[in-house]
Amino acid sequence: MTASVRVCFFRWKWIVYPLSSIFEEFAIKIIKTVKEIQTRSEMLRKEGRVISFVPTMGFLHEGHLALLREGRRLGDDLILSIFVNPTQFGPGEDYESYPRDFEKDFELARKEGVDVVFTPTKDELYGDRFQTHVALESLTKHLCGLSRPSHFKGVATVVAKLFNIVKPHIAVFGQKDFQQLAIIRQMVSDLDFDIEIKGVQTVREKDGLAMSSRNAGLAPEQRKTALCLYSSLVKSRERIQEGEKNASALIQEMKVYIISRFETEIDYISICDPDTLDDVDKIERPVLIALAVKVGKTRLIDNMIISP
C-alpha cells in the first residue's frame, strides 16, 4: 500500500481511501453558497445517506445543542445552518443587535459532530430581486403572529428556501417556538415537502428559564425577572390540575403576577388549542399556554402543554 492510500473500516464499510479524504471526512466543512451545498446534498442522497438538518440563527446554546444531538442521532450527515434572517424581523425589532458569535458556534458545532455548517450571506439567499414568499393563513393569526405580523412569512419563506437548498430528509426544530414548529409542520404538509419534521422539548436553565439566544441581552436583575414566564406557567399548571377550568380567570392571574415584576411588559398570554392555536374558554382537554413578555428591551417567549 502506498503512503497516500489506506484501507479502513469507516462508517460501516471497508473502504480504500486516499489519506486526504480521510481528513476531509473528519473535518467540519463551512459552505457559503447555495450551489455548493445543493451539489453536496444531491451526492449524499445518491449515496443513500440520510441528511438531517438543524436551521438556526446562530449564537448557539444548550437548546440548539439538543437539536443537533437529535439530528446527529437521526441522520448520517448533519447539516447546521446559521443565518440571521432579516425578513423575519419587523421594523424596529432586534435584527441589527441580534447576538452573533460565529467562532464559538463553529466550535460547538464541531464538538457535536456537525458535518457541514451552511452560512450564506443575505445576498446569497435573497439577491436584490427576490419576490416570492410563503404565507400561511390561520396559524399565523395567533400568538406571536399578532404582534409580529410579517414574522412568520419571513420564517416560512426562509425555511422553505433552506429545505430546497439543503435537501434534508429530516429537519429538527425546538418546541420553545411552538407556533413556528406548528407553522413549519403545516407548510411541509401543504407544500408536500418530503421531509420529516422533528420537535425537541424546550431546554431550560436550572431554575426553569427557557434557553434562548436573547437571554444574553438580560442584565442580572432582568435575568431574575425573566423567570416569571416559567413560574407563571408552573402556577397555572397547578391551578388547572387543582380543577380550574376558566381560561380567562387564569390569564388574569398570570397577568397580575407578571406585571408586578420589575420592567415587564406583556405582549400576550394565551390559552389555546395546541393544534389550531384558537383560544379556549373552558379547559377540558389538553391546552397550550403560551406567552410573550418583554423584560426591559428583551422579548421572551415560553409555553407549556397542560392537561386538566
Catalytic residue annotation: 64
Beta bridge partners of 29: 116
Q: To 10 degrees, the CA torsion angle through 53, 56, 62, 67?
A: -20
Nearer to ligand PAF, 59 or 250 (CB): 59
Binding mask 59-98 for ligand PAF (x = CB under 6 A): --------------------------x--x----------
Nearer to ligand PAF, 85 or 215 (CB): 85
Please enumerate in sequence order all residues whose Cβ is within 8 A of that of 132, keeping only pairs 6 or more positions apart, or say none: 157
Which of these segments, 31-39, 54-62, 202-210, 265-273, binds ligand PAF (CB under 6 A)?
Answer: 54-62
Q: How far is the CB of 82 from ligand PAF (least distance, A)?
A: 9
Residue 31 as a binder of ligand PAF (CB under 6 A): the answer is no
Burial 198-212 (b: 16+ CB within 10 A, else e): bbbebbebeeebbbb
Nearer to ligand PAF, 147 or 307 (CB): 147
Residue 57 as a binder of ligand PAF (CB under 6 A): the answer is yes
Residue 117 DSSP code: E
Q: How far is the CB of 84 from ligand PAF (least distance, A)?
A: 8
Residue 155 as a binder of ligand PAF (CB under 6 A): the answer is yes
Residue 300 as a binder of ligand PAF (CB under 6 A): the answer is no
Q: How far is the CB of 275 from ligand PAF (least distance, A)?
A: 20
Q: How far is the CB of 75 from ligand PAF (least distance, A)?
A: 18
Residue 55 as a binder of ligand PAF (CB under 6 A): the answer is yes
Which of these segments, 4-12, 34-42, 51-59, 270-278, binds ligand PAF (CB under 6 A)?
Answer: 51-59
Grid look-up 434572517 returns 85
The string of DSSP codes covering 239-293 is HHHTT--BHHHHHHHHHHHHHTSTTEEEEEEEEE-TTT--B-SB--S-EEEEEEE
Distance CA 84, CA 237 (A): 34
Residue type, 22: I
| Torsion angles phi and psi, residue 101, rounded to 5 | -160, 85
Q: How far is the CB of 225 from ligand PAF (least distance, A)?
A: 24
Distance CA 168, CA 180 (A): 18
**Residues in touch with ligand PAF (CB under 6 A):** 55-57, 85, 88, 155, 158-159, 177, 180
